[in-house]
Amino acid sequence: MAPRFNFLLHAFLSLALATTSFSLSPKFYDNVCPQALPAIKKVVEAAVHREPRMGASLLRLHFHDCFVNGCEGSLLLDSSSAFETEKNGRGNFNSVRGFEVVDQIKAVVDRVCGRPMVSCADILAVVARDSVVVLGGPTWKVRLGRRDSTTASRALADSVLPSASMDLPALISNFKNQGLNKRDLVALSGGHTIGLSQCVIFRNMIYNATNIDPVFAKERRATCSRTGGNTNLAPFDPTPARFDTAYFKNLVKERGLLTSDQALFNDGSTDKLVETYNKNPNAFWVDFGKSMIKMGNIKPLTRNQVQIRNVN
Ligand code: HEM
Ligand SMILES: *[C@@H]1O[C@H](CO)[C@@H](O)[C@H](O)[C@H]1NC(C)=O
């Protein structure tokens, strides 16, 4: 083949590959397994009914999956000879939970579909949305068709997950690295309208911070002493099992539980947005859904790189 023709052919093939590159769709399982999504929803509803906190824990799993090398189910993999599990990573270890529920859902979905068809990454994305809905929050159309990674990285989990001690510039840059902007940061931090945190995580905030309501700090110190009770839990806002705007109301009153929460309302560039979400639940709901879709799009892997994982 003449070199020139070869070059053109190559260019054509690259273009064809790029334009047929994999994209996610809400209808991905509609024809191949229409029972999948209703089955997932049922298990989530039962799990959250049993323990309301589970909704929060499940939402967080999708976030921690997506931030570490894209939404590809790596968080669910246990250690092997090839890698150490992300579950041991900073931000995950002794903190993320809900894996039994995900395993249960995977088994149910494989059964109703007749074979392993729905990826673990997709399950996490659907479960996150269903959890928010069960707890009274907004809904959105989850884009589907992710494939599961065969590998995981504890080191990457250590380095990319945002930490509770981050200030606003650090949070903005952490989200920017994932292709997420300031609006995504504030909207998605609203995920803390549900769930709980451990004393060891927020101790420094309630004993040392100056941007905290002293009455609130005193309240929290009652169940989180200077030295003991590391695993004692406290809610991020007064309604930890309701997806509402109380999280933002709290921030405006300097009742943020983590340094990274109050950082969003601390005389900085995100104050205005916090006030908007506090006053306008609908604005928060719309933006939360949009940002969840954006987060769910972080680097989805293409078909040939990956697998549809089986249970264990
Ligand atoms: C902005 C940066 C973020 C930081 C620094 C952060 C940090 C944390 C920390 C430290 C905890 C408590 C862990 C513990 O005490 O064991 C937590 C819990 C939680 N996070 Fe975040 N988070 C962030 C963003 C998000 C996002 C984007 C979401 C989801 C959209 C989310 C959802 C949750 C939920 C629902 C819980 C409670 C989980 C439960 O009760 O089991 N967080 N987060
Ligand atoms: C408060 O800050 C000091 C100085 O950084 C630190 O040594 C101390 O451990 C902090 N106290 C708590 C309860 O976190």
| Per-residue model confidence (pLDDT) at position 23 | 83
Q: How many angstroms is it from 242 CA to the middle of ligand 2? A: 32
Q: Is 268 annotated as a binding residue?
A: no
Output the CA–CA distances (angstroms, integers) from residue 280 to 78, 184, 194, 245, 271, in the order listed: 42, 16, 18, 8, 14
d(CA 84, CA 79): 4
Q: Is 86 annotated as a binding residue?
A: yes
Q: Is 244 annotated as a binding residue?
A: yes
Which ligand 2 atom is at minimum distance from the Cα of 226? 13
How many residues does this entry show for the chain?
312
Instruction: Note the ligand closest to the C-alpha atom of 54.
Output: 1
The CATH number, out of the four listed (3.30.428.10, 3.20.20.60, 1.10.520.10, 1.10.3720.10), of the domain defined by the range 5-161+297-311: 1.10.520.10
Q: How many angstroms is it from 37 CA to the middle of ligand 1? A: 25
Instruction: Note the ligand closest to the C-alpha atom of 51.
Output: 1
| Per-residue model confidence (pLDDT) at position 16 | 36
Give kind and range of the element (H or E) at residue 235: strand 233-235
Instruction: Note the ligand closest to the C-alpha atom of 232.
Output: 1
Tokens of 227: 């030295």
| Per-residue model confidence (pLDDT) at position 139 | 98
pLDDT tens track, the chain, 312 positions: 344 434 433 333 333 333 344 689 999 999 999 999 999 999 999 999 999 999 999 999 999 999 999 999 999 999 999 999 999 999 999 999 999 999 999 999 999 999 999 999 999 999 999 999 999 999 999 999 999 999 999 999 999 999 999 999 999 999 999 999 999 999 999 999 999 999 999 999 999 999 999 999 999 999 999 999 999 999 999 999 999 999 999 999 999 999 999 999 999 999 999 999 999 999 999 999 999 999 999 985 444 444 566 654
Which ligand 2 atom is at minimum distance from the Cα of 208? 1
Q: Is 163 in the pocket of ligand 1 (CB under 6 A)?
A: yes
Q: Is 191 in the pocket of ligand 1 (CB under 6 A)?
A: yes
| Per-residue model confidence (pLDDT) at position 244 | 98
Q: Is 84 annotated as a binding residue?
A: no
> Facing residues of 198 across strands?
233
Please tell me what DSSP assigns to residue 148. Answer: B
How many CB atoms lie under 10 A from the CB of residue 295? 24
| Per-residue model confidence (pLDDT) at position 311 | 58
Tell me if the domain spanning 168-292 has CATH number 1.10.420.10.
Answer: yes
Residues of the chain with CATH 1.10.420.10: 168-292
| Per-residue model confidence (pLDDT) at position 309 | 67
Where on the phi/psi map is residue 70: left (φ > 0), alpha (ψ -120 to 50), or beta? Answer: left
Q: Is 226 in the pocket of ligand 2 (CB under 6 A)?
A: yes
The share of the chain scoring above pLDDT 90, in percent, equals 88
| Per-residue model confidence (pLDDT) at position 299 | 84
Cβ-contact 191, 60 below 8 angstroms: yes
Residues of the chain with CATH 1.10.520.10: 5-161+297-311
| Per-residue model confidence (pLDDT) at position 240 | 98
| Phi, psi of 117, deg, nearest 5 | -135, -40
